[in-house]
């Protein structure tokens, strides 16, 4: 008999097909009575595919052994609760580094040169009445990266290719990296033209990018968030963008996505993206493969390809 697993939200089609070939999959997000489904599975289910798993769900599944998250960021899983119950947690690192780094540079150039706005300018027939305003370039500018990790390093090399100066902040200095390290985020923001966020979400980084940090980045400064909306004081960011005390922002993630505060829609100094960092066929397929590989390895008693707990 195949193992029964619980899927907590919609996954990529290919991932769902591959899971279905190996396991009996129960889809929590499609259940009319979720509590009844959980109750009925409690004596049997040893694995979850997907995120959004807190201690309450863990407690209802006493045989749960592993949670395989679709995504490198696992802030929607309570890892402390998992550890306390000896539940393994896996994520999907590395396979998405290039995709996320590419969209980061895309968002930076889109914001610097107002590419979405320029597109609208042409489509709305405004060009014959006058040229689109002159803007700014990213070459020669300093980019401060919050989170010089797997993705942050890929962003760094691409920024260097764009002739930018790269500096970074994290909890630790990385002596093997050639970039200048700031131990205080606010100091890095003050010294940077661009601030790129690519650190994990969760309690430890909540509102790390405070009003003070955003004010330090200043009226000529640009913020790019490809990490999690929770890293930023979103209300302060909106206020500073509206009053032009922050130069601009390119945002792929939001505090309560997919809800985006309407205040952003009226601003010409922002570029908005619906959490597209890893959203390519090739990358999402590799992420799905890793979810499956972790579950297969677990049930075969083999080492997990990408465990975080
Ligand atoms: P990673 O390799 O673990 O790198 C994370 C970096 O953040 C590390 O350099 C770490 O440095 C730093 N960091 C961690 N906690 C910090 C803290 N409290 N304060 C300051 N810096 C901290 O992770 P990754 O694979 O690059 O992914 C990073 C994040 O990107 C994910 O967690 C996810 O939320 C986000 N992401 C978004 C998308 C998207 O679609 N927009 C796609 C993929 C990933 P120190 O240890 O020195 O602090
Ligand atoms: C999402 C991401 O997980 O990997 C991450 O941390 O933010 C993204 O890749 C992806 O959108 C899955 O829903």
Residues 168 and 179 in one domain: yes
Residues 71 and 41 in one domain: yes
| Tokens matching residue 210 | 């405070």
User: SS in 3 state form for 65-128?
Assistant: CEEECCCCCCCCECHHHHHHCCCEEECCCCCCHHHHHHHHHHHHHHHHCCHHHHHHHHHCCCHH
Provide DSSP, 145-209: EE--SHHHHHHHHHHHHTT-EEEEE-SS--TTS-SEEES-HHHHHHH-SEEEE-S--SGGGTT-B
Tens of pLDDT, residues 103-116: 999 999 999 999 99
Residues 64 and 104 in one domain: no
Residues 34 and 167 in one domain: no
Print burial letters for 89-124: b (CB count within 10 Å at least 16), e (below 16). Answer: bbbbbebbbbbbbbbbbbbbbbbbebebbbeebeee
Count the alpha carbons within 13 Å of 149 in the hemisphere toward its beta carbon: 17
Residues 42 and 171 in one domain: no
Tens of pLDDT, residues 127-181: 999 999 999 999 999 999 999 999 999 999 999 999 999 999 999 999 999 999 9
Residue 200 CB burial class (10 angstroms; 0-12, 13-18, ≥19):
middle
124 pLDDT tier (thresholds 50, 70, 90): very high
- Domain-located, residue 277: no
243 pLDDT tier (thresholds 50, 70, 90): very high
Domain of 209 in residue numbering reads as 97-272
Tens of pLDDT, residues 27-71: 999 999 999 999 999 999 999 999 999 999 999 999 999 999 999
Give me the phi and psi of 247, to 5 degrees please.
-65, -40
| Tokens matching residue 294 | 């972790």
Q: What is the pLDDT of residue 71?
A: 98
Residues 109 and 233 in one domain: yes
Q: How many domains would you assign to the chain?
A: 2
Q: Which atom of ligand 1 is nearest to the CA of 252?
A: 41
Residues 246 and 293 in one domain: no
Cα 278 to ligand 2 centroid, rounded to whole Å = 6
| Helices and strands of the chain, counted as H and E runs | 11, 12
Q: Which atom of ligand 1 is nearest to the CA of 100?
A: 42
Q: What is the pLDDT of residue 189?
A: 99
- Domain-located, residue 256: yes
Cα 147 to ligand 1 centroid, rounded to whole Å = 5
- Domain-located, residue 305: no
CATH number assigned to the domain comprising residue 254? 3.40.50.720
Catalytically active residues, by annotation: 228, 257, 275
Q: Which atom of ligand 1 is nearest to the CA of 146?
A: 21
Q: Is the four-CA dihedral 15, 16, 21, 24 of positive or negative sign?
A: positive
Any ligand 2 atom below 6 A from CB of 278:
yes
Residues 115 and 262 in one domain: yes
Residues 88 and 131 in one domain: no
Count the alpha carbons within 13 Å of 197 in the hemisphere toward its beta carbon: 31
Residues 178 and 266 in one domain: yes
- Domain-located, residue 304: no
Over residues 275-296, the mean pLDDT reads 98
Any ligand 2 atom below 6 A from CB of 70:
yes
Minimum CA distance residue for ligand 2 atom 6: 73
| Tokens 């985006």 -> residue | 260
Residues 14 and 152 in one domain: no
Tens of pLDDT, residues 191-227: 999 999 999 999 999 999 999 999 999 999 999 999 9
Cα 259 to ligand 1 centroid, rounded to whole Å = 23
Residues 198 and 257 in one domain: yes
């Amino acid at each position: 008999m195949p193992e029964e697993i619980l899927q907590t939200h919609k996954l990529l089609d290919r991932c769902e097909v591959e899971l279905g070939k190996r396991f009996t999959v129960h889809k929590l997000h499609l259940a009319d009575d979720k509590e009844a489904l959980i109750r009925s599975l409690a004596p049997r289910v040893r694995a979850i595919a997907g995120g959004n798993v807190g201690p309450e769900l863990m407690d209802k599944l006493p045989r749960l052994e592993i949670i395989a998250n679709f995504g490198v960021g696992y802030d929607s899983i309570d890892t402390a609760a998992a550890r306390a119950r000896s539940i393994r947690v896996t994520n999907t690192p590395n396979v998405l580094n290039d995709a996320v780094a590419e969209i980061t540079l895309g968002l930076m150039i889109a914001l610097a040169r107002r590419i979405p706005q320029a597109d609208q300018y042409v489509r709305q027939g405004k060009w014959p009445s006058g040229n689109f305003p002159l803007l700014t370039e990213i070459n020669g500018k300093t980019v401060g990266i919050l989170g010089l990790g797997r993705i942050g390093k890929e962003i760094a090399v691409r920024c260097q290719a764009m002739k930018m100066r790269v500096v970074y902040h994290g909890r630790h200095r990385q002596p093997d990296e050639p970039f200048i390290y700031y131990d205080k985020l606010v100091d890095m923001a003050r010294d940077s033209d661009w601030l790129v966020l690519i650190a994990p979400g969760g309690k430890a980084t909540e509102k790390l990018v405070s009003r003070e940090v955003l004010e330090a980045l200043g009226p000529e400064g640009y913020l790019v968030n490809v990490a999690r909306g929770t890293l930023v004081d979103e209300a302060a960011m909106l206020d500073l963008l509206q009053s032009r005390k922050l130069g601009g922002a390119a945002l792929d993630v939001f505090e309560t996505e997919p809800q985006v505060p309407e205040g952003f829609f009226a601003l010409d100094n922002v570029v908005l993206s619906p959490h597209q960092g890893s959203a390519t066929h090739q990358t999402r397929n590799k992420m799905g493969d890793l979810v499956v590989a972790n579950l297969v390895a677990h049930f075969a008693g083999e080492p997990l390809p990408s465990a975080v707990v």
